[in-house]
Every structure is written in C-alpha cells, then in structure tokens.
Structure 1
Amino acid sequence: MKPNRALIIMIILSIAIFSVVSAGCTATGQQSPASPLPTAVAAPAPDCPALVFTDREFAFELQRTLGASYSGEADIGECLATASRIKEGDFESWYSEWNKTADNFRTAGDGSLAAGHRVTAMEAYYRAATYYRTAEFFLHGNPADPRIVETWGKSRESFRDALSLDVVPYEIVAIPYENTTLPGYFYMVDDSGTSRPLLIVQTGFDGCQEELHPYAIEGIKRGYNVLTFEGPGQGEVIRVQNIPFRHDWENVIGPVVDYAVSRPDVDEDRVALWGISLGGYLAPRGAAYEPRITALIADGGTYDVGQTLLANLQNGGGASANMTKIELQEWLQTDPVEFNDAIRDAMARDTGTRWLNENGMFVFDAGSPAQFWAKWMDFSLVGVAEEIRCPTLVGAGAADHFDPDGVQAKALYDHLTCERELMVFSDDYGAGSHCQLGAFAQSFAARFDWLDDQMGMSK
C-alpha cells in the first residue's frame, strides 16, 4: 500500500506527536514558533511543570540530572546555577554550560586529590562525571562531532577516578559478545569472593552505564553483587565500537548471563535483571529467551513501539485508519523523501522531536528519520512476552509522558503469563515521571522490596 498525501500527513502528525510525548512532556521550546504539524491533531494536555526552562525537554533533562543528587553524584545548587545560564532550547548553550560546570568540578577534584583529600576528590569526580554526561546529551545531531566521544570520555574517566577512591569493591569487566566484548562494571558487597545473588542492571535508549551507579549501590546495600553493562546502541558500544541497536536483545542478554554465571561470586540460581527506560523492552525481550533469569524488572514496561504509532493513526480516522503496522514499516523502509522532509521540519520547530530523532538516528546508525523509525518498529514483544517465565515487575509512572496513561506498561503486563505485578507510581510526591527520575527513594524502596521478596533476600 502506497500512502496517499492525506495518509502521509497523518503518519507524520502521529510520529511528531509521539516524538514530543516520548521526549518527556508535550510542549514546545521557545527557540522557534510552534510547528503547524503537531497542532493539527490535539495532543493530551501535559501535567509536567516546567523546571527552570519553559522548554519541556530541557526541563526534563534537568530533572534527570538533579535526580543524581540522591546518590551524591550531583548537587542541586550547582545544577540550578548551570541551568540559569543556558539559553532556552539551544543545544550548543546546553553543551557549553554543562561542560564548563563539569570542567570546574573535575579541576576541583584534582586539586583536592593533590592535597590529600580523598573523599572530597571522589565526590567532585562523581559530580563532574554526571555533568559531562549531561553536557553530551544533545550533541548527537552530527554523529561525527568529535565532542561526543571526547565529552563522553571525560565523563567515564571522571567516574572511574571516583570509583578508584571509593570503598566499594568493583571490577571493570569485558563481557565476550560475538566477535568483540561489551563493557561492564561488577560491583561487590565485599572482596571475599562469596557467592551471592546477582542483580544485572541495564540502561535504554539514551543512557550510559555510569548513570546506573546509584542502582548498583542500592543493590550492594541489600546484599546483591551487581553487574551493569552496555550493549549495542549504548554508551561506549555505539560511540567507540560503532555497534548500533538491535531489537533481538536475547542475543545480548545470553552472553551477559553466560559471563555472570561463570564467576564464582555469583549464585547462578539467583540472577535478576532490571531494565530501565527502553530497557523496559530490552530486558523482557532477553528474559523471554533466557531461563537463567530468576526475577525481572521492566522499568517502565514497553510492549510494542509501533503500537503507539498505529493507535494515533487509527484515532485520526480517514484512510490512515486502515493502514497496518507492516504497511507503515515497509513504506518507511523505502526512505520516502516527503516523510523525511516533513519530520526534519518538525525537528526544526520542536526540541523534543529534534532530540528524539537525532538520537535515534545516532544509536541506530540510521541515515534518515524514516530509516530510524523503520528500525525502531522492530522493537516489539508481540508473541514474545508470553514466553517470560520468571516473576516480573512492570513499572509505570502516572505522569510518564513517554507512556501516557501507562498504555505500553499495561499492554506488557496483560500479555505476561508468568507471576507478575504492575506497579504504578503516583505523582503525589513526584514519583510519577519517567522511570521515577527525581524520586529515587520511592523507586528504590518499592522495587527493591519486591525484588528482595522474589530473591529470598527479605529479613
């Protein structure tokens, strides 16, 4: 089926709206007038208050950075002062100011270390690592930009310098994968070599594993050894190894579990997997084919990327209501010029749409928006979710604008045939956002209590 002009417009409207929604909150930045594309179809009113910025994508990412304050890997005053100097909706201004802040605290840490103040240096390095990571976030519009690898490298170097000064035992590990390796950190309760339950934590669409350090520390507190890693499309693997995302994540989780159970300090009968953000699709996909996973957390649950697009098309009515997911994907695979031109126009007018598509093309190694969306539509658990056998916790946020009304999380939950629980976080105390960013105390308490019960860790 070749879409007619009306159908093309409806597809673009659906993706533009989905792009803004998935970026955090439905609203536009101030860098340019609102796009006529998203306004042609009504979108749900946002319930996401601006934080410093009226640009909702910038506000959301600031909230994400502020959330690292829970573990001492950011500080509120430093974040707010940096944000106050950023030009609204300007990606270059975002990079410049966060990079300056990161440089400042990297230098401060070096000075403290030279003076013999280990703890002060460690804390400064952790914060610098967060700020470098935040600085790099919006650079992906030009995959050849040398600042991507340079700034990511400064973030990882600062993080590892902090780890070397910390008291938690750890190893930097290389996990065998196909004809290469995947990078990981193995955090230990102690250095006794005692076999313990293992928690594997992985990120999603736009994260690096250093951001998972707070999850690892919470696991250590509760008696788990913890393994974090980056797979195709993530962190070092896309930036240095140039390996893009793949939808069949079972081919990633299998080697990770192979490595984990080969260690004498891992209880192979108690291996949990926690996937964050798009990891709420990746981890369930892996667990469906990996019987050695004994408990699973999908944070937040994702069932089928194409489902949301189709729902928007069908709600729009007209000829578009009869288009199937396969037809939409096949059309996108032809790399239609009219689609790419319209999406790029929407990207120029809206920060959230721009970021989602730029990052998507970067992590999928896609040369156009159409190629990115065609590949992303492969991310589906249809006919797969039913194969998950371990107890599974599906998370959702009541105000998560990546998944309005928890449609994706509920769909995953409904298709599970294993022991399962759907945990919806309200926004009464700020825990309703995507992956409960900014409300880690509530998130960790609820999820780890569930995990402890499943893994026999409750006391």
Structure 2
Amino acid sequence: MKTGKTHIITIILLITIIITVSAGCTDNVKQSPVSPADNTTESSILVFADQEFAFQLMRTVGSSYSGEADVGECLATASRIKEGDFESWYSEWKKTAETFKAAGDESLAAGHKHTAMEAYFRAATYYRTAEFFLHGNSTDPRIIETWEKSRETFRDALALDAVPHEIIDIPYGNTTLPGYFYMADNSGTIRPLLIIQTGFDGYQEELHPYAMEGIKRGYNVLTFEGPGQGEVIRVQNIPFRADWENVITPVVDYAVSRPDVDEDRIALWGISLGGYLAPRGAAYEHRISALIADAGTYDVGENLMQNLQKDGGADLNMTKEDLREWLQTDPAEFNDAIRSAMAENTGTRWMNENGMFVFNVSSPALFWAEWMDFSLVGTAEKIRCPTLVCAGSSDHFDPDGAQARELYDHLTCEKEFVIFSDDYGAGSHCQLGAFAQSFGTKFDWLDDTMGTGE
C-alpha cells in the first residue's frame, strides 16, 4: 500500500467503519411474526442516553425473562451509575452483585434453598455485568476476580438446581475447553443435542437461559467457551482464532463420545460473533445437522473495504491484503486516530479495548489486522446443513442487517432468513431484551428442522 494514502484511510476508517462494524439451500425469507418487514425503528433508550450503556443495561434486564436478573434491581443500580463512566458502572454493579450474593448465603443458611438459588443466579449476572467494561487494562486484577465471582456464584446456583448437569472439560490440543452439559432428564436417553456458543464478549454462563429453553423442548444442551472467550482468554490466555472449525470439531468429537447424544441430530447455535464462528465451524464440520447464525456475520474485511471505497478513502485497486499488511505495521497515525475516537465514544472505546483484550494485542491497529481474518468468503458455500440466519432491524452492530443478508445470500444449503422488528422491542442485537420472541421463533425453526417438535 502506498504510504501517502494512510492518513486518508485512517480518517475514513475512523468516521465510517469503526463505530459500525460488529462484534455481531431453499430460499425462504421470513419476518419475525409480530410485525411488518419494513420496520427499522431504533430500540427505546433505557435509562442512559449513551447507546452502549443503554444496550448493556437492556442485556442485563433481559435476563429477567429467565429469573436471572430482576427489573427493579437493574433499574435501581443503573440510576446510581454516572453516564459513560466505566468505573462507576463497575462499582455499582459489583455492589448489587455482592448484595444478592450475601442474600443468597443468608437464605441458604436458613434452609431456603430455592430462594438462595434464585439470588445466586441474579448475583452471577450482576458480577458479569460489572466486569464488562474493565478490559482497557488487561492486567487489571479485577477482571479475573470479578469473573471468578460470577462463575462461582453461578455454580452455587447450579448446585441447588434440580436440572441435571455436568461441568465438563473438552479436550482441545494440549489443553481443555470449559463447558456445561445440561440434560433434559436423568434417564440417560439418547437425545438430540443443541450446542450453543457465545461470541466477542460473552461468558458461557450467560447462555444458561438458552440451555433451559432447550431442555424444556427435549434437547440435551452443551455450552462451551473457546479461544478468546471467558475462562480461555482470562486464565489460559488463548486469544481468538478465525479458523473456528478447529474449535468446533473437538467440541463435536466430545459430544459424540457421550452415550446420551444422538450423533445424527446435533445443532449448533452461535450468538453475536458466534454468528460468524458457528457458520465457520459448520462449513467444515459436517456432523452438524442444523445451524443458527444469530446474528449472521459474513466478512469483516470486505465490509471495511466496501466502506473505504464507497467514501473515497481507497482506490479500487487496493485489496484487503493491502489494508491488512498496513495495519500489521502498527501505524501510529491509525492508532492515534482510533484512540481519539475512543475518548469521544463509549462504544468505540469498548470495542477496541475488548478487541485488544480478546486478541491479546497491544494496539487498535493490531486488533483490526486480526479482525480482518474473520471471513466466510469462499467458505459459506461449504455449509451443508439447514441454516437459519437472523438479523435485527435496529441492530447497531449490523445496520440494516447487511452482514446477515450477505451471509444468507452466499449460502447454498437449505436456508431461512428472519428479520426481527422493533415493534415490540426485538430489533436489537441478538434480540437481547426480547427473549420471548427470540426463543419462540428460533426454537420453532430448530424443532421443525430437527424433527423434535416438543
């Protein structure tokens, strides 16, 4: 790449891309069943004017659907947080988490196990929320401390729950990946398996509500964390990798080794960045019999290039490889521009801080160089199983569902595309905060595809 263009490229990236790029067959396109297809209204801002704070609050409030948060507790906590202040966010959610962890301990000591379980589930959610914005300093000891409290409290709740489960270790190279295996019952009956994974910023404990919906419908459910996620980045220091098939295959190997898994009926559901990771895995792992990309993501690098060329920041002869090579030089002008944007915008700050954390790199440019490898170009066509691609009409990580649509358009398998509208609050990223609509639509598709229908 010609060095004389770098300043222009930096400015265009800054203005048109960094804030907008996420994480996040038969031809059958559907709208979510409650609203018209042309709805693109933004979700209502909740408490905060800051978009990222409002969305993360909605994410936490949404856990109320499964009893793993409570609306009043969330709103009261949010009312004490200083807008856009990461330290205030951490301290107030941590206080709330500790309050309900102590309440759970008190209930358990008094013999009220069910009340204790409920308090522990809520406390685990609040610890997880507290940790969310801490990643600007990867050596901050509160990252591990708060993550550990969230997981420990979650497991305290699980120990009191009647749902059969196992805490599992999945062989992966010379180490293991952490997971949970939830069973519909204790009979050992062979059942269809639903594998659920998170994305760019989640813990697998956040997937517990999804797992509970699965077992209600007769599935056994496996959740796990891979490179760049949860324990694997925080404790094992293993960063994200784009070739996620090398993660999914060991997970499926573990699954089919179990006597209670129907190896002919294994579904994979990827949430947020999982909407890239799961399709990438399914493209090469053909033991997957159904796939949900939630929300679908096709190609980060291509999206960058299209925006550059559209806005005049790159000539038509510049390739993704040119841009990647430039970013790999760790250009100071790019980093300076991005850090300036981070100082002005909470979402930009969080995305880049978290990106550097989960990729284990030291600058925004090196994060974006790694991020560009996340592409399904030439790969989406390899997916053989029926696939549901989801998008939200007001998803701020994928405006207009462009990435989801591109993934859908490149699939050659049996496929379906669902756009969730915001008429009743389901238009946001991964339908967080609208679980009733989300679960109803996605599990109905899965039941029909897997032949369960429970």
TM range (shorter): over 0.9
In the TM superposition, what whole-angstrom CA distance separates every residue of 1:159-186 from its partner, at most 9, and x where no partner exists?
Answer: 0000000110000000000000000000
Task: Give the match's secondary structure for 1:454.
Answer: helix
Task: Give the match's secondary structure for 2:171.
Answer: strand
Q: In the alignment, which residue of structure 2 is the partner of 1:9?
A: 8
Alignment of structure 1 residues 166-177 onto 2, 5 Å: 166-177=161-172
Q: In the alignment, which residue of structure 2 is the partner of 1:279?
A: 274
Q: CA deviation at 1:322?
A: 4.4
Q: In the alignment, which residue of structure 1 is the partner of 2:307?
A: 312
Alpha-carbon distance in 1 for matches of 2:356, 2:187: 44
In the TM superposition, what whole-angstrom CA distance separates every residue of 1:27-66 from its partner, at most 9, and x where no partner exists?
Answer: xxxxxxxxxxxxxxxxxx9834321111111001001001
Tell me: CA distance 1:284–1:119, structure 2 relative to 1, closer, same or farther (3 Å): same
Alpha-carbon distance in 2 for matches of 1:108, 1:16: 47
In the TM superposition, what whole-angstrom CA distance separates every residue of 1:88-114 from its partner, at most 9, and x where no partner exists?
Answer: 110000000000000000000000000
Q: 1:229 aligns with which of 224, 227, 239?
A: 224
Larger RCO (alpha carbons 8 Å, 6+ apart): 2
The answer on 1:381 being equivalent to 2:376 is yes
Q: In the alignment, which residue of structure 2 is the partner of 1:199?
A: 194
CA contact (8 A) 1:24 1:60 kept: no
The answer on 1:215 being equivalent to 2:217 is no
Q: CA deviation at 1:256?
A: 0.1
Q: Which amino acid aligns with 2:138?
A: P
Q: 2:430 aligns with which of 426, 435, 441?
A: 435
Q: Where in structure 1 are there 5+ consecutive unaligned residues?
A: 26-44
The answer on 1:151 being equivalent to 2:179 is no
Task: Give the match's secondary structure for 2:20.
Answer: helix
Q: Which amino acid aligns with 2:357?
A: F
CA contact (8 A) 1:23 1:353 kept: no
The answer on 1:18 being equivalent to 2:13 is no
Alpha-carbon distance in 1 for matches of 2:316, 2:154: 49
In the TM superposition, what whole-angstrom CA distance separates every residue of 1:285-337 from its partner, at most 9, and x where no partner exists?
Answer: 00000110000000000000112211221121254554321111110011111
Alpha-carbon distance in 1 for matches of 2:379, 2:17: 24
Percent identical:
76
Alpha-carbon distance in 2 for matches of 1:286, 1:85: 42
The answer on 1:253 being equivalent to 2:252 is no
CA contact (8 A) 1:313 1:321 kept: no
Tell me: CA distance 1:79–1:47, structure 2 relative to 1, closer, same or farther (3 Å): same
Task: Give the match's secondary structure for 2:418.
Answer: strand
Alpha-carbon distance in 2 for matches of 1:432, 1:390: 26
Q: In the alignment, which residue of structure 2 is the partner of 1:341?
A: 336
Alpha-carbon distance in 2 for matches of 1:444, 1:58: 24
Task: Give the match's secondary structure for 2:12.
Answer: helix
Q: CA deviation at 1:115?
A: 0.3
CA contact (8 A) 1:280 1:298 kept: yes
The answer on 1:119 being equivalent to 2:114 is yes
Q: Which amino acid aligns with 1:57?
A: E
CA contact (8 A) 2:330 2:365 kept: yes
Alpha-carbon distance in 2 for matches of 1:11, 1:248: 27
Q: In the alignment, which residue of structure 2 is the partner of 1:291?
A: 286
CA contact (8 A) 1:280 1:300 kept: yes
Q: In the alignment, which residue of structure 1 is the partner of 2:36?
A: none
Alignment of structure 1 residues 323-362 onto 2, 5 Å: 323-362=318-357
Alpha-carbon distance in 2 for matches of 1:338, 1:364: 21
Q: In the alignment, which residue of structure 2 is the partner of 1:395?
A: 390
Q: CA deviation at 1:348?
A: 1.2
Alpha-carbon distance in 2 for matches of 1:283, 1:346: 31
CA contact (8 A) 1:197 1:270 kept: yes
Q: With structure 1 as the length reference, what TM-score do the two structures score?
A: 0.93
- How many equivalent residue pairs? 439
Q: In the alignment, which residue of structure 2 is the partner of 1:28?
A: none
Tell me: CA distance 1:435–1:325, structure 2 relative to 1, closer, same or farther (3 Å): same
Tell me: CA distance 1:57–1:321, structure 2 relative to 1, closer, same or farther (3 Å): farther
In the TM superposition, what whole-angstrom CA distance separates every residue of 1:111-148 from its partner, at most 9, and x where no partner exists?
Answer: 00000001110000000000000000000000000000
Tell me: CA distance 1:16–1:94, structure 2 relative to 1, closer, same or farther (3 Å): farther
Alpha-carbon distance in 2 for matches of 1:83, 1:443: 25
Q: Where in structure 2 are there 5+ consecutive unaligned residues?
A: 25-39
The answer on 1:181 being equivalent to 2:150 is no
Q: Which amino acid aligns with 2:427?
A: G
Task: Give the match's secondary structure for 1:199.
Answer: strand
CA contact (8 A) 2:10 2:333 kept: no
Alpha-carbon distance in 2 for matches of 1:172, 1:12: 47
CA contact (8 A) 2:12 2:311 kept: no
Alpha-carbon distance in 2 for matches of 1:12, 1:133: 35
Q: Which amino acid aligns with 1:134?
A: T
Alpha-carbon distance in 2 for matches of 1:58, 1:70: 20
Q: 2:439 aligns with which of 426, 437, 444?
A: 444
Tell me: CA distance 1:23–1:408, structure 2 relative to 1, closer, same or farther (3 Å): closer
Tell me: CA distance 1:137–1:351, structure 2 relative to 1, closer, same or farther (3 Å): same
Q: Which amino acid aligns with 2:376?
A: L
Task: Give the match's secondary structure for 1:428.
Answer: coil
CA contact (8 A) 2:164 2:185 kept: yes
Q: In the alignment, which residue of structure 1 is the partner of 2:34?
A: none
Task: Give the match's secondary structure for 1:447.
Answer: helix
Q: Which amino acid aligns with 2:75?
A: L
Q: Which amino acid aligns with 1:77?
A: G
Alpha-carbon distance in 2 for matches of 1:56, 1:215: 25
CA root-mean-square deviation: 1.5
Alpha-carbon distance in 2 for matches of 1:55, 1:307: 29
Task: Give the match's secondary structure for 2:293.
Answer: strand
Task: Give the match's secondary structure for 2:17.
Answer: helix
Alpha-carbon distance in 2 for matches of 1:354, 1:385: 31
Q: In the alignment, which residue of structure 2 is the partner of 1:64?
A: 59
